[in-house]
């Protein structure tokens, strides 16, 4: 496996009320192609900020970020993102929500619809193409967001607490669905959460962050099959802050 994303010695500060706030200090991480990595840390430690930088929405003041060995200057469809809120267009059908990005890139409706139907089936929403977002449950909306993000066939998918607003049962189902879609596609995944059990269930590798300033303090590779070992993680330094 070769590294697809390299975050090298990134430091980021915001100025607030004339005070400098160091949000991230000397953060380095890399994602190998096809890896499923979870970034785990307490609220406010800078997880979303890291994702936003990899997506290309924010730039670091120090350090650099490489994608496939090259620097980049903004967002690109090869780096897809899924947020806690599904952010669907309320006036578009499920199908049109999913194909919106591809259509904007000039792909024909026939081709875009065909690809979208494959993805809707994969996320268990076959037969819901003509539904409006308001007719769907929270979990179903997030499945639409998943299909939409995956449709352009991104090389890396960045997920920012995507299941944070869902009830426990739906959340577990979505976690299973995500792992299975990942297995089928081989997409590189960076998944952000503050939930230890979620991290243990999903990750092949967990990066643990601490806050003020945000730093990666530990990396663990849980020794698991599907049975995830919460004790192993509880031993890791930095765990108590989560
Ligand atoms: P997390 O996703 O881990 O909860 P964030 O990345 O959203 O954390 O935020 C990390 C820190 O950076 C927080 O203290 C937040 O208040 C601060 N922050 C984020 N964006 C800005 C901004 N645009 N201006 C000032 N402070 C910000
Ligand atoms: Mg966040």
Cα separation, 229 vs 79, whole angstroms: 31
CA of 112 to the centre of ligand 2 (A): 31
Please give the pLDDT value at position 222: 78
Please give the pLDDT value at position 16: 84
CA of 165 to the centre of ligand 1 (A): 19
Please give the pLDDT value at position 241: 47
Q: What is the mean pLDDT of residues 169-182?
A: 93
pLDDT at residue 234 tops 80: no
> Alpha-carbon Rg of the chain, whole angstroms?
18
pLDDT at residue 209 tops 80: yes
Cβ–ligand 1 distance for 57 under 6 Å, the answer no
Cβ–ligand 1 distance for 49 under 6 Å, the answer yes
Q: List pLDDT tens digits, range 190-205.
A: 999 999 999 999 999 9
pLDDT at residue 81 tops 90: yes
H or E segment at 171? Answer: helix 168-185
Q: What is the DSSP string of 35-88?
A: -EEEEE--TTSSHHHHHHHHHTSS--SEEEEEETTEE--S--TTEEEE-SS---
Residue nearest to atom 24 of ligand 1 (CA): 14
For 33, list phi and psi in degrees, rounded to 5. -55, 130
ipTM of the complex: 0.96
Residue nearest to atom 23 of ligand 1 (CA): 14
CA of 76 to the centre of ligand 2 (A): 21
Please give the pLDDT value at position 124: 92
Q: List pLDDT tens digits, range 82-136.
A: 999 999 999 999 999 999 999 998 999 999 999 999 999 999 999 999 999 999 9
Mean pLDDT of the chain: 91
Short-list 46, 119, 138, 136, CA closest to 80: 119
Q: List pLDDT tens digits, range 18-65.
A: 898 999 999 999 999 999 999 999 999 999 999 999 999 999 999 999
Ligand 1, pocket-test mutation among 44, 59, 84, 242, most atoms within 8 A of CB: 44
């Amino acid at each position: 496996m070769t590294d697809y994303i390299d975050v090298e010695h990134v430091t980021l500060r915001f100025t607030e009320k004339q005070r400098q706030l160091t949000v991230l200090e000397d953060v380095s991480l890399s994602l190998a192609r096809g890896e499923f990595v979870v970034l785990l840390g307490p609220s406010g430690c800078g997880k979303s900020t890291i994702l936003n930088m990899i997506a290309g929405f924010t730039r670091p003041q120090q350090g650099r970020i490489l994608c496939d060995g090259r620097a980049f200057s903004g967002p690109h469809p090869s780096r897809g993102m899924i947020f806690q809120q599904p952010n669907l267009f309320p006036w578009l059908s499920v199908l049109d929500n999913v194909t919106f990005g591809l259509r904007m890139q000039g792909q024909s409706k026939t081709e875009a619809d065909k690809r979208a139907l494959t993805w809707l089936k994969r996320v268990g929403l076959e037969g819901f193409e003509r539904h409006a977002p308001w007719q769907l449950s929270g979990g179903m909306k997030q499945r639409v967001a998943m299909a939409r993000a995956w449709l352009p066939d991104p090389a890396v998918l960045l997920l920012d607490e995507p299941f944070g607003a869902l009830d426990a049962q739906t959340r577990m189902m979505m976690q299973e669905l995500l792992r299975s879609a990942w297995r089928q596609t081989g997409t590189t995944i960076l998944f952000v959460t503050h939930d230890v059990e979620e991290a243990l269930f999903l990750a092949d590798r967990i990066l643990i962050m601490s806050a003020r300033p945000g730093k990666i303090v530990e990396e663990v590779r849980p020794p698991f099959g599907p049975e995830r070992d919460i004790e192993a993680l509880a031993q890791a330094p930095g765990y108590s802050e989560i």
